[in-house]
Structure 1
């Protein structure tokens, strides 16, 4: 009989069910997976033979080298016999191709955008006020249809925790490297996880599964938005709303609506954003979470500032501070925990910047200290947010007449943004490009405008 350490043996399925192994697989920590296999007597040579890697590659991974490439992860899973869903991978090569090339990743041009927005708003309103829309056959033409994959017949809380852990790990990649670094993996995880809705499970597991999948759909929507796939974002946010409502989690409903509002803010549709955020406020207040309300108020302030309504924007900034302060020391859920002191400063600085770019240039004196504090608090794990903050701060210094310092900050922002896989990072440079182009009599400003134009690509403003 072959032992696990013999050259022609396979790895017993129960190895993949061990708690420590499942955690490593969910996080895609291949080095940890290989170390655990070594404990089971699997040699480096056997791992190399199974995965098609050289022994030196296996040795480097055992020493901590990360494996990020999707095709390499698929090859490792296939060679070792890991159930692909345990790593958030598409079920097979055919499914992987279908997921990567599915209809949701394109932006159809034949339908009027305003019609899609109205349809989504109607759907969001129905979900928010309690309509049972989960499983509707034809929820609207804003929905695209992704490929489906097989799933276990029966699931337990371990399977739900796997989805939660994968979502957390993928969200960290999004924050640090941009949506383009992880969106395919998010969609692949969904192609596995969505099918668990048809699996047998206890009522408690089912409820937790709805919430976990809602959060994963929300991440899919956010990463889609970050790379400019707004139809796909709308699809995922719509599904996230349904699942969050079915799971009875109003804080998550509010979070999804806030994120959809941000899509409209980014696409310069503040009136549409306010409609989403007003629905989000209903859910946030229903949840009883002051922090969820603070998130909504901050983004409403941004939308009002875009519309030139200074008084409303300032009123909502004040309420943001008040609600955030009241939330301190209270237990909050993951989807609102992100909104800490750094984000409060960032949102305040953003609102004042928008007003300063409009008819209230004096607001630079409020924007600059808030953004400076925000940037000082951001770590490397929040590279994209830090990039946005630097761009806004540079814009304020240009508006304030400090062109040399503004140009220096702008170049730093571009350097950080260049490493991101994010269309949004390019779009958010537009205000800085506009202000730099207005000051072409300064060589620093002129150079900055040209650098941004090159970074953002053809057909962008050059002055």
Structure 2
């Protein structure tokens, strides 16, 4: 039966309240949603027109192709006339603004993003240095306050609960990607921020500021992992403010490091370098050699992307020196991830960046470092393992060992299928392109197409 509704909607409003439909909406199972719409007489062409997708995309989704990107989910919900709350999309005002702005066509997206990067850098400088260095301070980071009741007085045990929740959610992010836990982080954060209104000792308040900074940092990181730039920026901005209120220089450095990594991912090494250099000041003030090592390593990565090998060499040398001085058991919790394995991983990333300009020299070096980290990754670090295998495979191919690159690359695809991260398809793009260069090698051509299909299935 065709139940196309009035006022231009595809179906009558009551269709969205059916049991099967509500279950599909709640789980964001777009494939099932489209199948149910088909049962109600809605054609693939009508779905495509309403959601802004091609008919071939709709067809692929009907066959089981997943949709995980927030922007696409929001566009589908709005296009079909689904109440956003049915899909758990209504809580994030910053994302809603971003979606609206990106659809408005008022100005080029590149210009918008440039302005946003500059505003965040201005905010970061103002918080980290106590003065607005690059322009007027941007202060609109605060999200709407939550309404869930909270205690009127808190102690250290309440703060420790926040820390435990953050650790558990961070472990999920490391293992399965931000898509498995971002909503939970944001929800937990809304509740935790209510504790700011409770009475407590000065010691508890300082620990609360630190805990909220760390949770905001995780919310920013998981937002970035799902491709949600504006919410990521908002959370990182608030994380900086709380870290500064807690007088925690190491955590200030960590937040700046993470935002710098966002810009590295989007191939903006100059902006990343500015944030890493700001973070380096805070890292030095913290007295933590491990924090300084993290900042040096990532400055080296930015210099690699800028093809400045002399600067890379200096930064990697300093990274190794600071790492050798660090006492891991005394380091702050949020930098203890940077162990021997991660040192190999970031060194491999630096050489991978340089290999884009000089593959003959740097690709073998990238392979050697990524092999070391990939041998040590376990199931708790699946996303990092995918990234490491992708880099190793790419540089095997750059170095001329195409078959080994294909073999390692297939491992990356196998593990990548288990990770809910918008970064995975982005980070595998170089592998696809390198394999495609070998036009006379049928295995390489087939593998490049396999990577392309994998990336396409994970990117929508």
After superposition, where does 1:153-192 map in structure 2 within 5 Å?
Answer: 153-192=152-191
Contact 1:261 1:272 (8 Å CA) reproduced: yes
Aligned residues: 364
Asked if residue 105 in structure 1 is aligned to residue 104 in structure 2, the reply is no
8 Å CA contact 1:99–1:147 kept in 2: the answer is no
Shift of 1:216: 0.3
CA apart distance, 1:248:
0.9
Partner of 1:261: 260
User: 1:252, CA displacement in angstroms?
Assistant: 0.5
Task: Give SS of 1:168's match.
Answer: helix
* Counterpart residue number, 1:335: 334
Contact kept? 1:170, 1:182, Cα under 8 Å:
yes
Is 1:281 the counterpart of 2:280? The answer is yes
Instruction: Give distance in 2, aligned partners of 1:175 and 1:372.
Output: 20
Paired with 1:148 and 1:343, the residues of 2 have a C-alpha distance of: 37
Contact 1:355–1:361 (Cα < 8 Å) also in 2 = no
**What is the Cα-based RMSD across aligned positions, in Å?**
2.4
Q: Deviations over 1:402-447 (max 9, x none)?
A: 1111011111101111111100011000111110111132122112
TM-superposition CA deviations, 1:251-308 (whole Å, max 9, x none): 1000000000000000110000001101000000000111001101111111111111
How far apart, CA to CA, are the structure 1 residues paired with 2:257 and 2:90? 27
| CA shift in 2, pair 1:145/1:96, >3 Å | farther
1:405 to 1:371, Cα distance in 2 relative to 1, 3 A: same
**Once the 2 structures are TM-superposed, how far is the Cα of residue 329 of structure 1 from its aligned partner?**
5.6
User: 1:330/1:152 Cα in 2 relative to 1: closer, same or farther (>3 Å)?
Assistant: closer
Cα distance, 1:443–1:144 mapped onto 2, change above 3 Å = farther
CA contact (8 A) 1:119 1:140 kept: no
Q: Which moved more, 1:350-359 or 1:450-459?
A: 450-459
The answer to whether the 8 Å contact 2:382/2:415 transfers is yes
3-state SS in 2 of match to 1:378: coil
**C-alpha distance 295-445 of structure 1, shift in aligned 2 (>3 A):** same
Distance 1:123 1:425 in 2: 29
Aligned match of 1:409: 408
Find the counterpart in structure 2 of residue 228 from structure 1. 227
Q: Partners in 1 of 2:152 and 2:358 — Cα distance?
A: 61
Instruction: Determine if contact 1:218/1:236 at 8 Å carries over to the other structure.
Output: yes
Offset, 1:450? 0.8
SS in 1 for 2:204: helix
What's the secondary structure of 2:375's corresponding residue?
A: helix
The 2-side partners of 1:146 and 1:439 are apart by 52
Q: TM-score, normalised by structure 2?
A: 0.75
Unaligned runs of 5+ in 2: 1-25, 29-83
The reply on whether 1:149 has 2:147 as its aligned counterpart is yes
Shift of 1:131: 5.6
Q: Could you tell me how far 1:145 is from its partner in structure 2? A: 2.9
Distance 1:147 1:330, change over 3 A: closer
Task: Say if 1:146 and 1:314 are closer, same or farther in 2 by CA, change over 3 A.
Answer: farther
Which residue is equivalent to 2:251? 252
3-state secondary structure, aligned to 2:440: coil
Q: Report what 1:211 is aligned to.
A: 210
Q: Is the 8 A contact 2:389 2:411 kept in 1?
A: yes
Answer yes or no: is the 8 Å Cα contact 1:349–1:370 preserved in 2.
yes
Q: Distance in 2 between matches of 1:366 and 1:296?
A: 21
| C-alpha distance in structure 2 between counterparts of 1:379 and 1:161, whole Å | 28
**TM-score scaled by length of structure 1:** 0.75
Which residue of 2 is the match for residue 91 of structure 1?
none
What does the per-residue CA deviation read over 1:215-256, in whole Å, with 9 as the maximum and x for residues that have no partner? 000000000000100111100000000000101111100000
1:123 corresponds to which residue? 123
**Measured at CA, do residues 315 and 146 of structure 1 come closer, stay the same or move farther in structure 2, by a change above 3 Å?**
same
Pairwise CA distance, 1:367: 1.4
Unaligned runs of 5+ in 1: 1-68, 72-93, 133-137
Equivalent-residue separation in structure 2 for 1:434 and 1:144 (angstroms): 41
Decide whether aligned partners of structure 1 residues 291 and 113 sit closer, same or farther in structure 2, where only a CA change above 3 A counts: same
